[in-house]
Amino acid sequence: MARYRAGESVSVTVEDLAYGGEGVGRAEGYVIFVPGGIPGDRLRVRLTQARPRFARGQVEAVEQSSPHRVEPPCPYFGRCGGCRLQHVDYQAQLAFKEKQVRDCLVRLGGLGEVPLAPIIGAPELYGYRNKMEFTIAEAAGQTVVGLHEAERYDVILDIERCLLQSDLLNAVLGEVRTFIRERGLPVYDPETEEGLLRFLMLREGKRSGEVMVNLVTASPRLAEARALAERLQARFPQVTAVVLNVNPKKASVALGVEEHPVAGRETIREHLGGLEFSISANSFFQTNTLQAERLFELVLEYAALTGTETVLDLYSGTGAISLLLARRCRAVYGIEVMAAPIEDAVRNARANGIANCTFLPGEVRHVLPELIRKGVRAEVVVADPPRAGFHPKALKATLTLAPRRIVYVSCNPSTLARDLGGLVRGGYRLEVVQPLDMFPHTPHIEAVARLERR
């Protein structure tokens, strides 16, 4: 196998996509990862990093273009860290994602022959996101409101129009930027811990048409927030909620330790699966409404409820899955660690006239064993964990509970494979894994798995 050094220029044929969207190729047997490379490309690559078993490089020239390569429509493509696959034909994106799910299940889960269904593509390739989070920063003496540059956490691109959100949200984004610049509001500096503005989060009810503007600041400057709210609501009647979240801590997260309703309601509404949901600023809700509906249909299909079951919904968020399940079973227990989603879930249950849901705050690894000790049993478990997947104690408790059926919703094929492997070894048979593309043009993949106890 050949060895190269950083700084060398080599010709690479890209053979695959790694999880995360990087092209994977070889030069004389030496593995080289190439951001922006597509299977079928032959590229001239300048190596930026060289290690004994692999290297990473930047594209200097496309010597032969892949048949899957297309012209990306976004002017920020290549600089923005978001849509890394815009230059890949959509059908090829789907094929690569399906392959990555299969590879993870076999290689990381040790599952052998995997019952993998063909991936379900998205009906909307642009404008599909109902939530976007922008960072507010200073660049060249000017306030910018945008997204992180690819592979950088210290550089923010000033995004005038993001193709993943609607024209309405792009117009609201532009108005907020103009307001901030006109007022000369100071931007928070994480080094000095001085300044005000940190993040802008926009939410949109795709079915209700309602918009939430959530401004995250380092201190509660309500006068400026009220002035912004008046301006936005005068120009956009769809803005029904303006919220100020205050995060005085150094941690760069768009979550506040205190929340102040500024104008309108504290939540916006969304309609999904025949139910109405209230969504607050800090709650989790699937960010692709149309695909979320398809995802929830799969969950209901795989749960195969008859009306007599007790169901546990682990990592229940705002209760969307819990409430949809509740109409088809005897009782649902939803477990969620965050306080805001629990409040939303209770509110959503009441608004939809659903009385057979109980929402429990806390970590699944602690709450589930306590439920078992109290004698709670469930025939079906539905789980939608974060990217890290199940905590080992939560997985162990699920096996102790021994439900007849498990429906696992995942946003990370690697941890899905790990957890499915553990469940299969713990006495379950994997019936089917169904990938869905919730986020076109990004490397992210959603999947739903159904398991039956042997």
Q: Please report the pLDDT score of residue 2 as a whole number.
A: 67
Q: Please report the pLDDT score of residue 24 as a whole number.
A: 95
How far apart are alpha carbons 407 and 303 in whole angstroms? Answer: 6
Per-residue model confidence as pLDDT tens digits over 74-89 = 999 989 988 999 999 9
Q: pLDDT at residue 5 above 90? A: no
Query: For the chain, what are the domain ranges?
Result: 9-64, 97-123+288-453, 131-272
Q: pLDDT at residue 438 above 80? A: yes
Residues forming a β-bridge with 248: none
* Backbone conformation region of residue 336, classed left if phi is above 0, alpha if psi is from -120 to 50, else beta: beta
Burial call 47-86: b when 16+ CB within 10 Å, e when fewer: beebeeeebbbebeeeeeebebbeebebebbbebebbbbb
Q: Residue range 156-167: average pLDDT?
A: 96
Q: What residues act catalytically?
A: 411
Q: pLDDT at residue 153 above 80? A: no
CATH of 97-123+288-453, one of 3.20.20.10, 3.40.50.150, 3.40.50.720, 3.40.50.300: 3.40.50.150
Residue 50's contacts (CB-CB under 8 Å, 6 or more residues apart) are 3, 4, 5, 6, 8
Per-residue model confidence as pLDDT tens digits over 346-380 = 999 999 999 999 999 999 999 999 999 999 999 99
Per-residue model confidence as pLDDT tens digits over 119-135 = 999 999 999 999 999 99
CA 361 to chain centre: 22
Residues forming a β-bridge with 47: 57
Q: Evaluate if pTM is beyond 0.85.
A: yes
Q: Residue range 32-55: average pLDDT?
A: 93
Higher pLDDT, 190 or 355: 355
Same CATH fold, 97-123+288-453 and 9-64?
no
Please give the CATH topology (third level) of the domain spanning 131-272. OB fold (Dihydrolipoamide Acetyltransferase, E2P) (2.40.50)
pLDDT category at 453 given cuts 50, 70, 90 is very high
CATH of domain 9-64: 2.40.50.140
Higher pLDDT, 4 or 328: 328
Q: pLDDT at residue 284 above 90? A: no
How far apart are alpha carbons 302 and 385 in whole angstroms? Answer: 17
Burial call 213-249: b when 16+ CB within 10 Å, e when fewer: bbbbbbebbeebbeebbebbbeebebbbbbbbbbbee
On average, the pLDDT of the chain sits at 94
CA dihedral angle for residue 269, residue 274, residue 275, residue 277, rounded to 10 degrees: -30
Q: Residue range 223-230: average pLDDT?
A: 95
